[in-house]
Every structure is written in C-alpha cells, then in structure tokens.
Amino acid sequence: MGLWPVGDPGFWRQVVERLVTAVLVLDTAGRVVAANPAAGRLLGRTIAAMRGADAHDLLHRDADGNRVPRDRCPLLRTLAEGKEARGEGGTYLRGDGRLLAVSWSASPLTEDGSVRGVALLFTDATGEPSVHRERTARTRALEDLNERLSLVAEITDVLGQTLETDEALARLVRLLVPRLADWAAVDLRTGSGEIHRVAVTGPGGRNAGFEGRREPAPEGAGEGEDSPLGRALTGGDSVLQERVAAVLPAAGHSHLAAIHNGFLAAVGASSAVTVPLGARDRITGALTVVRTDPAHPFDEGDLVAVSDVGRRVGVVIDNTRRYGRQRAVAEAMQRNLLAPLPRPGHLRLAARYQPAPAGSQVGGDWYDAFTLKDGALALVIGDVVGHDLTAAAGMAQLHGILRSLAWDHTGPPGAVVDRLDAAMPVITTVPLATLILARVEGGPDTGPWTLHWTSAGHPPPLLLSPDGTACYLEAGQGLLLGTGPATGAGRPDAMHPLEPGSTLLLYTDGLVETPGSDLDTGLDRLRRHVLAHASEPLDTLCDRVLAVVPPGSTDDVALLALRVPPP
C-alpha cells in the first residue's frame, strides 16, 4: 500500500517525516505499516518496534489505563466503514508506560475505489488550550492537504480508464462534487470555433439546465479577459474568487463574463475557482468549481489543487481527441475496404462490421465475398492480430492479395491459403492473422450447393439446417497465418453440402470471446441465439446477432451470412 498519493514519493516522504504532527499509517487489519519520527517521539517508541503491531492493542487505553474493547474503538470503525473521523479526546499508551491524551483524525487511503488502509494523525492534547488549538489547526490543515492530494491522485487514476472525452469529463465532475465543491462546470473549445459547456454537476447530480450551451470562442489573447472564464481560456490563468459578490451579467462585458457571472449567480456561489484545462500553449477548455457556503470558501491550497487537476484533465482531453481522430480514420478506411457484396443468383448474402466498443481501438477484422473466374462464390472472413491502424492496414494488404490469388484458382481453398501464407512475410507487414476461405459451388439457380473451405486458426463456421438444428463445422482447421511454412501435404480442406433453406454464418472472435469467459461458453451462446432467430430474414438475423455482442467485449466484429434458397 502506498502512503504517498501523488507526485514524487521521495518528496512526500520527506514532507511527512519532517512534520511536527505525528502520523501513523495502518493497513486494513489495523496494523502499523508506516510511522513518522514525530509519532515515535510522542509515543516514546521506535518506528521499528511499532511496525507490524496492532495499533489498537498497542496504544489504545481508557483514562485509567485499561484496554478499550475493540467494538468501542472509533478508529477501527473508521477503518471498517472507509470514512473520515476525528476525535478531540483519547488516551494512548507510551512506550515508558505513561498515558498520553491525544486529539486525532483518520482518513481512509483508497486505491481503485477500495480502502487499502487509513492515515492516522494525532497530537498531544495534555498542554495548554491555546497550544492544543494550534496543534489541532495544524492537524486539520494537514488533513485538508492529504484530502486534496488523494483527490488529485484518484482523478488521475479514474480519467486514465477511458479514452472517451464525454465519459472522462462526466467522471471528473462526479469526483469533484461534493468532495471538493458544491458545483462544477467544464467548458471546452470545439473545432468549430465555439465554447461548449459539456458537463455541469451540482448537489445530487443536478445540472440545472446549464449543459449544452454554446458561445463563440475568444479569437486571441486579451479577448474576454474581464472574467475568470475568459482569462483561463485565453491566457491560461487560474483565478481564485474567495468572496463572490452578488454577480449578474453586466452590460459592456464580454459574453464569457456574462456566462461566468450568470452561472455563479444562478447557483448561489460564495467562492469559486476557475482554471484552464491543459498548459498555456495548448488550452482545451476551462474548469470552474463553486462553493455556496460562505463559512467554507476556497483558499490558495484549493487553487493549487484545482490547477493541478486542470493540467491533468487537459492532457487527458488532448489524448482522447487524438485517439478519436485516429479511430475515425481507421474505421473509415476499414469500412471503405469492405467491398459491396455480389448477388450470386438465388443465394442471399448479408454482412455486418461493428467497431469495438468505446475505449478500444479499431482492429483488423474483415469479410469479403466475390465471384471467381469459374463461377463459384468465394467467401472470406479474417482477423489480423492487433488493434490499431497497423492492423487495419494489414487487413487491407491481405484483402487485396487474397483476391488476386483466389480469383482464377479452381482447386481447393487450402492451396490458395498456403500461397498467401508463403507470400505474407515478403510482401505484407502482417505478423499473424486468422481467416476462413470458402468456395460455394453449385448451379446458379437450383443448386445443389456444396461448401468447400479451409480455416487458418479461425473460429468455426456455424451452419443452421432447415430442420431447426445448428452445428459448428469443425473440420478443415489449420495453423494461423504467419506461424511458419506448412509441412506435408499442405493445409487441410473440408467439404459439406448446403441443404436448401440452410444458413451459414462466418464471424470473427469478437462475437464469441470476452475477458473472463471461455470460448466454449461464447460459442454455445451464439448457437442458441442464432437458433432463436433462425426464421428471420437474413438482414434481420445479422442485426439480432450483433445486438447481443457480449458485455465487456473489447474487439471489433465482422459477420458474413449466406442463405441457400428453400426448395
């Protein structure tokens, strides 16, 4: 468990070790895992002797020196409930046997939403009242510092878990309210030259209708600097308003001043902090936090903490926007490379491509269908290893090469895939890939039709028969592309008749694989779902299949379906 929540651990260790306030860090069982020298001096014990000891059993006594029952210990309740607590009275046992009256406070230490321990700060309460008040004030100041640092660390951790701007900002304001502020608002610069209020949160999660407002952005430095919002957006300045008077939009002020003053007036602000998002040379927006209690205004320490949050959030927004542009380019490229489906007589084809869910990158999944020189229908489903533009580009390379190799080849599909495997390391950048190449042979109108296929490490085709059953075609399985030259007679091929009224589904692993679940479970789920919708038109069936992509999936999905006409 880390004692130091943010920044250089060595720096913060020096800060705590030099404090005159005693600090103990306890784990979830109440054992001492760290102590500063002030704690050792106050308790008359060495840090080594305290480390690993049960703090309650070692220290906690009543006024007569007797052990306190564990169920009456407020510190242990704090640890169990994960809430802050403080006490103006208590008695600890020193190493020399003397009793020490203390004032104390405890703050939970969290990581990924779980309580990992507690920070216990305490001072000697046996002196004069004025000394006691001074020590209590110092303790509370340190508590405030610890809370700010913990909040900044938690915000950094939470924002790093998403690559979607809207979700990141929604998480941000939920963390700030009510832990630091009563209201929080985020204004972003848009690519269309506007300022967009994208997130507002107040007491109970209310936004009071402030979200969605758009205003022209200031064109340069100096414009709009008659308000804290304008100064943050144009000059990169952080502004502390310790006392907010009754503010109303004033004539002659900039539109940014009107927006800022109107918001403060509407929420009943007593103090506010406005900071830029990002650094001075790359400001993406502004964050405003508000308190409504005049007895608890923001101070310089809050300004430092919120400014740090603003810099970190600016980096996150910059990264999410870059990711969004990369994702859009990759997805557009991928969709454009998925050729239109042919219309092979009475056979019916349908296909779908679904990008990965939010927070994941575009992958290298693809499908293809085209008529071969001898009149047979070629079906392809494939997946290039990787989840980025490189994978999408590799998919494009394999797509074109495979078409060229297969178009005039009348032999089994395995021979074509062998040639593709041999060529792949020489003329592509693809390290590994899976695919199925199939030929559908038969009369153009009446059939009968036969499926010939080979699989390079790809999930098996799913065949729905007209009698209401479904089975996976497990034959024809060979090694992934890129695992080395084939040995022996080459890749295996398989053959299966396609009965009138049957439906064939080729798909990529994003449809059946999810983190924490095995492949057999995913395959069984897909088979049962497809059977439930087997009577639907082919396009509707494809839509139904994609609608139940497993929760938690981080992969894109390609789907190719073939339906043989009924008798």
**For all residues of the chain together, what is the average pLDDT?**
81
Q: Scan for tokens 């700060």, then name that residue.
A: 121
DSSP string, 465-515: -TTS-EEE---SEEPPBTS----TT-S--EEEEE-TT-EEEEE-GGGT--T
* Under 8 Å between Cβ of 363 and 555: yes
What pLDDT is attached to residue 524? 93
Is it the case that residue 214 has pLDDT exceeding 50?
Answer: yes
CA angle 285, 286, 289 (to 5 degrees): 155
- Superfamily of segment(s) 9-155: PAS domain (3.30.450.20)
- Sheet containing strand 271-279, edge to edge, reads 214-216, 194-201, 183-189, 282-291, 271-279, 239-241
Q: Burial-class residue 523 by CB neighbours within 10 Å (0-12, 13-18, 19+).
A: middle
What pLDDT is attached to residue 75? 84
Most confidently predicted of 243-252, 289-298, 301-310, 322-331: 289-298
* Res. 415 pLDDT band, cuts 50 70 90: very high
Q: Which residues lie across from 367 on neighbouring strands?
A: 381
Q: Domain extents for the chain?
A: 9-155, 165-328, 338-563
As its CATH architecture, domain 338-563 has 4-Layer Sandwich (3.60)
The Cα-based distances of 506 to 344, 369, 382, 486, 562 in angstroms read: 17, 11, 9, 24, 9
The residues, any chain, with a CB within 8 Å of residue 217's CB and separated by 6 or more, are 189, 190, 193, 194, 195, 233
What pLDDT is attached to residue 370? 94
Most confidently predicted of 386-400, 466-480, 484-498: 466-480
Fold of the 165-328 domain: Beta-Lactamase (3.30.450)
Q: For the whole prediction, is pTM greater than 0.75?
A: no
Closest CA to 414 of 437, 389, 387, 398: 437
- Pick 437 or 247 by higher pLDDT: 437
What pLDDT is attached to residue 405? 94
Most confidently predicted of 244-258, 275-289, 338-352: 338-352
Is it the case that residue 252 has pLDDT exceeding 50?
Answer: no
Fold agreement between 9-155 and 338-563 = no
Is it the case that residue 5 has pLDDT exceeding 50?
Answer: no
User: Token pair of 216, please?
Assistant: 């022209």
Beta strand pairing status for 282-291 and 271-279? antiparallel
* Under 8 Å between Cβ of 199 and 169: yes
Is it the case that residue 170 has pLDDT exceeding 60?
Answer: yes
What percent of the chain stands above pLDDT 90?
34
